[in-house]
Amino acid sequence: MPALYTLVIGTANWSSWSLRPYLALSYIGADFQTLMIPLRVPGVSKKTILAHSPSGKVPVIKISERGKTLKVWDSLAICETLAERHPKAKLWPADAATRATARAYAAEMHSGFPNVRDQLDLQFAKSLPLPDLRDNTQAEIARILSVWSAALKTHKGPFLFGRFSIADAMYAPVVSRFVTYGVKTSPAVSAYMARVMALPGMIAWGLMASKEIELGLLTR
């Protein structure tokens, strides 16, 4: 009997970290359930998340198998676990050197770009004006566009390292941010962003985010 996956996520319109493993799960074609916990609800969000996640943060995935349930938290850790459990999905490039570079891309996103996160807040289902960007934010945007361009040129697309990988999943929330705020990009990068936004997982996520807005579930 296959494992049962339950992905615990935060508000879709806001939770960039939750989006990443959701995309990976969607890509590998695994059956999974999604449990959404509304974020930014004082006195409720943190307590509810702690009931599911040891870290007190989302996302967390519950893997139920042979009468036991394993919990894995953190976007990148979840994606790495899925890559190990579903090797046929090839969530990392097969070539060792390319795989190492892809991991570096993913880790740089995981730990970096604080100004982009701050000034270009994830608002997945919205279109918003580009704010007056700080110098550090502009430098981080330039770095992201540079690494995307380099990977696309080297590996000839359609994704950063040829086929879809965890690196694309890690950068997908940034793609959404750049779309939301109308960040100017080169034709090659714009085409890449369009391909990411057209992924079935991104479309499904967008529907969830739009539904949150329609139902008035967002506090801002």
Residue by residue, pLDDT tens for the chain (220 residues) are: 677 999 999 999 999 999 999 999 999 998 999 999 999 888 778 889 999 998 989 999 999 999 999 999 999 999 999 999 999 999 999 999 999 999 999 999 999 999 999 999 999 999 999 999 999 999 999 999 999 999 999 999 999 999 999 999 999 999 999 999 999 999 999 999 999 999 999 999 999 999 999 988 775 5
Same domain, 122 and 76: no
Same domain, 26 and 67: yes
**Phi, psi dihedral angles at 65 (to 5 degrees):** -155, 130
Give the span between the Cα atoms of 91 and 77, in whole angstroms: 13
Give the span between the Cα atoms of 218 and 195, in whole angstroms: 28
Note whether residue 21 is domain-resident: yes
Same domain, 102 and 191: yes
Note whether residue 107 is domain-resident: yes
Q: Which of 123, 84, 141, 143 is nearest to 212 (CA)?
A: 123
Count of domains in the chain? 2
Same domain, 37 and 108: no
Three-state secondary structure call for residue 58: coil
Give the span between the Cα atoms of 192 and 85, in whole angstroms: 28
Same domain, 125 and 182: yes
Note whether residue 105 is domain-resident: yes
Same domain, 78 and 102: no
Note whether residue 125 is domain-resident: yes
Domain containing residue 191: 96-201
C-alpha distances out from residue 131 to 127, 138, 178, 182, 220, Å = 12, 11, 12, 10, 17
Note whether residue 64 is domain-resident: yes
Give the span between the Cα atoms of 134 and 120, in whole angstroms: 11
Domain containing 46 — which CATH number?
Answer: 3.40.30.10
For residue 19, the model assigns a pLDDT of 98
Sheet holding 68-73, edge to edge: 32-37, 4-10, 60-65, 68-73
Same domain, 52 and 102: no
Same domain, 100 and 139: yes
Give the span between the Cα atoms of 213 and 220, in whole angstroms: 10
Q: How far apart, in Å, do the first and last CA atoms of the chain sit? A: 43
Same domain, 100 and 197: yes
Domain containing 150 — which CATH number?
Answer: 1.20.1050.10
Sequence-separated (6 or more) residues with CB below 8 Å from residue 209: 12, 13, 124, 125
Give the span between the Cα atoms of 191 and 153, in whole angstroms: 13
Note whether residue 206 is domain-resident: no
Note whether residue 52 is domain-resident: yes
**Phi, psi dihedral angles at 176 (to 5 degrees):** -60, -45
Note whether residue 211 is domain-resident: no
For residue 1, the model assigns a pLDDT of 62
Same domain, 132 and 189: yes
Same domain, 27 and 123: no
